[in-house]
Amino acid sequence: MRDVSKLFPRGSKPVDKKITVLTCYDFMFARILEDSGVDCLLVGDTLGVVYQGQPTTLPVTLDEMIYHAKAVRRGAPNTFVVVDLPFLSYQVSLEEGIRSAGKVMKESGCDAVKFEGGGPEILELIYKLERIGIPVMGHIGLTPQSVNVFGGHKIQGKAEEDKARLISEAKGISDAGAFSIVFELIPSALAKEISESVPIPTIGIGAGAATDGQVLVIYDFLGLNKGFKPKFLKTFLNGYDDVSSAVKNYIQEVRNGSFPGPEHSH
């Protein structure tokens, strides 16, 4: 078990260095990310969209999350791994949430779980899990499992009442015992205000530069998700075109007989 307090120190603001987080869903990418020095891997329920091709994260199951988390842990045995609890694996009851979190921890070998929201039931679940030894990362702002309530992927916290709610949720999540909070799609000024008001590290995605760390979806980060270009995203590789070019070269060489050559033959 990797020490959560070293990577996500409570009460140390600002953190010594920005925390780097990337989503990951498989062994090969996990190995690359660990070897490259990423601080934390998030096995996100975003796999429903970017890996399975679903329109939202809602269809993802708990067993699917565990399957992917086990692969990531094998590829990155020394990196801090957080696993999302998927839709309806923790909202039905406190007991169900505890059972789901415990199942993920026991079967995947991960270091922590993450789930969305900051209402009273969620805060109680965080409190209970922390006291039985399951570290929790919170998530507020645009919470994809509630996309049907929000009416799409829209920036949260523009209205004063929404701003006040997010501030209250963040403080509640921190007080309940979470070790970190993800801010998704909230105005940068609000993210800065909340980050400075809570004693735990904050991780942003579409929340500006004032958070204590950043997270991106790996396929978006690598430019593999063709046509997906939200304002907050910077692509660090032209992955779609590079892979497509390699595939076209392979097709051409197979068809013209230049591959396999003598050097590739036994």
Span 196-214, mean pLDDT?
A: 97
- Same domain? 214 vs 259: no
Read off the pLDDT band of 2 (50, 70, 90).
confident
Q: Give the per-residue pLDDT at 12.
A: 81
Residues paired with 81 in a beta bridge: 41
Are residues 70 and 111 both part of a single domain?
yes
155 shares its domain with 261: no
Structural domains counted in the chain: 2
Q: What average pLDDT does the structure give for the chain?
A: 95
Same domain, 44 and 142: yes
For residue 162, the one-letter residue type is D
Closest CA to 23 of 59, 47, 2: 47
| Catalytic residue of the set 124, 184, 193, 263 | 184
List helix spans (H) across 59-187: 62-75, 94-108, 120-131, 147-150, 160-176
Supply the pLDDT for residue 16: 85
Q: What are residue 50's DSSP bridge partners?
A: none
pTM of the complete model: 0.95
Residues 247-263 have pLDDT tens digits of: 999 999 999 999 999 99
Same domain, 50 and 175: yes
170 and 250, same domain (yes or no): no
Segment 33-91, tens digit of pLDDT: 999 999 999 999 999 999 999 999 999 999 999 999 999 999 999 999 999 999 999 99
My answer on whether omega of the bond before 199 falls inside 30° of 0, hence cis, is no
Length in residues, the chain:
266
Catalytic residue check, 184:
yes
Same domain, 254 and 227: no
Q: Where are the beta strands (DSSP E) in the chain?
A: 19-23, 40-43, 80-84, 112-114, 136-141, 180-184, 202-205, 213-216
Same domain, 115 and 214: yes
CATH number at residue 198: 3.20.20.60
Phi-psi region of 13 (alpha: psi -120 to 50; beta: other; left: phi over 0): beta
Spatial distance between the Cα atoms of 69 and 27, rounded to a whole number of angstroms: 9
pLDDT at residue 10, rounded to an integer:
94
- pLDDT band, very low/low/confident/very high, at 150 (cuts 50, 70, 90): low
Q: How far apart are CA 67 and CA 102, in angstroms?
A: 15
Domain range for 246 is 238-265
Let me know: does 181 contact 215? Beta carbons within 8 Å: no
Task: Place 151 in a pLDDT band, splitting at 50, 70 and 90.
Answer: low
In this structure, the answer to whether residues 16 and 144 fall within a common structural domain is yes
**8-state DSSP, 204:** E
**Annotated binding-site ranges for Mg(2+):** 45, 84, 116
Average pLDDT for residues 227-242, to the nearest whole number? Answer: 96
Q: Which residues are annotated as a binding site?
A: 45-46, 84, 114, 116
Which parts are annotated binding residues for 3-methyl-2-oxobutanoate? 45-46, 84, 114
pLDDT tier for residue 152 given thresholds of 50, 70 and 90: low
pLDDT confidence tier of residue 178, bands split at 50, 70 and 90: very high
Question: Which helix H or strand E contains 31, and what residues bound it?
Answer: helix 27-36
pLDDT score, position 13? 78
